[in-house]
């Protein structure tokens, strides 16, 4: 790769007006800043939202957003080409070539797909192309989709070993409270640790047009932190926001520092990319085995089981103090675990797996 890339993600609420139409001025501003970064020798990967919202007006949907998945997927198919056309034209003003890349969870989960996606992005950057990434909403199944591009941006940052992830939104960064409802809310300039991220309370999507909101931004920042990547959450409207994010100019937004011990790609997926289908509460001995000894989770240490999950589903692990300490892929179903929880392996019925979660499929998050 010619240089370490920067991942820049912009959300629907920053790209569209109240009526849901894409604002060409917003795309031009972003592309102007990408061109400035490229002129300074930086490689940039764009992750964009907005395809569904861009497609709805063309299909006659104005005002309230439809809720049925088939209509939204149809809108994505119509809007994606329109959105990419705007990026192509805007980057073309600077002599830059854009390349559309539609991604899905399989591109990160399946090893062969993961390597293929990385190779494609690396080659695009080598050729001087600005990759423009979006989730493949037109054909994605709800069970196998991310639902927002913040997580995709964080996973792409890991995929290409980015130097920085910049999440552009309609607010100046993370606040101590919702500034739209609390006049005393102040900007959080820096989040130095994963534990600090966990302690911040934020709401969901900020507008009807967006799908993520600050909760999604923080989740993506946590993913990037575990990848060893610094994240900057900032306002898309700020002049020279990309240059300021790279220079860490004071007041640019919220800077989230990386974790000292990054996760592998697979464990990053387990920890953050898939939705948990259940949870287990474990005793102090089991918690110590997971967090300090690197052990697997055994049924004898499980005290409570919640949710309905099968083998291979992600489940969250909580300790006796109700702290979320780990996530992993279940080796047994919730029905099996209900029967053997608290029971030593030698006393369990035949045919039951030895572990609830094998250590290779477990991510400790504390």
Q: For residue 220, with 0-12 CB atoms within 10 Å meaning exposed, 13-18 middle and 19 or more buried, which class applies?
A: buried
Helix intervals (H) in the chain: 12-15, 24-39, 51-58, 69-92, 106-109, 111-126, 149-159, 194-198, 213-226, 241-247, 265-268, 284-291, 334-340
**Could you give the 3-state DSSP secondary structure of residue 363?**
strand
DSSP 274-332: S---EEEEE-HHHHHHHHTS-PPB-GGGEEEEEE---TT-EEEEE-TT--EEEEEE-SS
Would you state the pLDDT for residue 143?
44
Shortest CA distance to 140 belongs to which of 76, 210, 46?
A: 76
- Say if residues 302 and 292 touch (Cβ distance below 8 Å): no
Token pair in block for residue 262: 């990054």
Would you state the pLDDT for residue 108?
74
- Say if residues 195 and 37 touch (Cβ distance below 8 Å): no
Question: Can you give the residue ranges of every domain in the chain?
Answer: 6-267, 276-364
Would you state the pLDDT for residue 298?
96
Q: How many Cβ atoms sit within 10 Å of the Cβ of residue 213?
A: 21
Would you state the pLDDT for residue 201?
59
Token pair in block for residue 61: 């949907």
Q: How many Cβ atoms sit within 10 Å of the Cβ of residue 62?
A: 10
- Taking only the tens of pLDDT, the chain with its 366 residues reads 457 899 999 988 899 887 778 899 999 999 999 999 999 999 999 999 888 888 888 898 887 788 888 898 899 899 999 999 999 999 999 999 999 999 877 777 677 888 899 999 999 999 999 999 998 876 665 544 555 789 889 989 988 999 999 999 989 999 888 787 888 888 999 998 866 665 565 654 444 444 457 888 888 898 899 999 999 999 999 999 999 999 999 999 999 999 888 888 788 878 876 778 999 999 999 999 999 999 999 999 999 999 999 999 999 999 999 999 999 999 999 999 999 999 999 999 988 999 999 999 999 987
Q: For residue 180, with 0-12 CB atoms within 10 Å meaning exposed, 13-18 middle and 19 or more buried, which class applies?
A: exposed
Instruction: Kindly state which CATH superfamily the domain 276-364 is placed in.
Output: PUA domain (2.30.130.10)
124-128's contacts with Cβ under 8 Å and 24+ in sequence apart are 124/99, 125/1, 125/2, 125/3, 125/5, 125/43, 125/45, 125/160, 126/1, 126/2, 127/97, 128/96, 128/97
Shortest CA distance to 46 belongs to which of 168, 174, 228?
A: 168
Would you state the pLDDT for residue 204?
45
The CA distance from 348 to 99, in Å, is: 55
**DSSP-assigned beta bridge partners for residue 278:** 307, 315
Shortest CA distance to 153 belongs to which of 210, 221, 98, 76?
A: 221
Token pair in block for residue 15: 């790209």
Q: How many Cβ atoms sit within 10 Å of the Cβ of residue 225?
A: 24
Residue showing tokens 């290409």: 160
Would you state the pLDDT for residue 17?
82
The CATH-assigned architecture of domain 6-267 is 3-Layer(aba) Sandwich (3.40)
**Could you give the 3-state DSSP secondary structure of residue 75?**
helix
pTM here?
Answer: 0.84
Token pair in block for residue 235: 């306002």
Q: For residue 179, with 0-12 CB atoms within 10 Å meaning exposed, 13-18 middle and 19 or more buried, which class applies?
A: middle
Would you state the pLDDT for residue 61?
87
């Amino acid at each position: 790769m010619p240089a370490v890339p920067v991942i820049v993600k912009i959300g629907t609420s920053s790209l569209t007006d109240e009526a849901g139409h894409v604002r060409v001025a917003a795309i031009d501003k972003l592309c102007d800043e990408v061109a400035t970064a490229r002129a300074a020798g930086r490689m940039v990967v764009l992750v964009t939202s907005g395809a569904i919202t861009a497609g709805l007006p063309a299909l006659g949907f104005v005002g309230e957003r439809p809720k049925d998945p088939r209509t939204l997927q149809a809108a994505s198919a119509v809007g994606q080409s329109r959105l990419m056309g705007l990026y192509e034209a805007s980057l073309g003003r600077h002599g830059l070539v854009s390349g559309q890349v539609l991604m899905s969870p399989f591109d990160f989960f399946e090893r062969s797909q993961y390597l293929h996606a990385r190779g494609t992005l690396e080659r695009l950057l080598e050729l001087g192309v600005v990759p423009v990434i979006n989730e493949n909403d037109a054909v994605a199944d709800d069970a196998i989709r991310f639902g927002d591009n913040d997580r995709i941006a964080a996973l792409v940052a890991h995929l290409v070993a980015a130097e920085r992830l910049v999440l552009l939104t309609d607010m100046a960064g993370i606040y101590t409270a919702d500034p739209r409802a609390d006049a005393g809310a102040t900007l959080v300039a820096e989040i130095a640790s994963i534990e600090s991220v966990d302690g911040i309370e934020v709401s969901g999507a900020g507008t009807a047009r967006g799908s993520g909101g600050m909760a999604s931004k923080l989740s993506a920042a946590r993913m990037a932190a575990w990848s060893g990547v610094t994240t900057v959450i900032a306002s898309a409207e700020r002049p020279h926001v990309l240059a300021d994010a790279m220079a860490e100019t004071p007041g640019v937004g919220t800077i989230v520092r990386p974790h000292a011990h990054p996760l592998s790609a697979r464990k990053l997926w387990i920890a953050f990319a898939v939705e948990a289908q259940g949870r287990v509460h474990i005793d102090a001995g089991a918690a110590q085995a997971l967090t300090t000894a690197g052990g697997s989770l055994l049924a004898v240490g499980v005290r409570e089981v919640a949710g309905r999950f099968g083998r291979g589903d992600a489940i969250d692990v909580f300790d006796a103090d109700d702290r979320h300490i780990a996530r992993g892929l279940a080796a047994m179903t919730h029905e099996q675990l209900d029967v053997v929880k608290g029971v030593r392996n030698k006393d369990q019925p035949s045919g039951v797996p030895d572990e609830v979660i094998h250590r290779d499929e477990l991510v400790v998050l504390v």
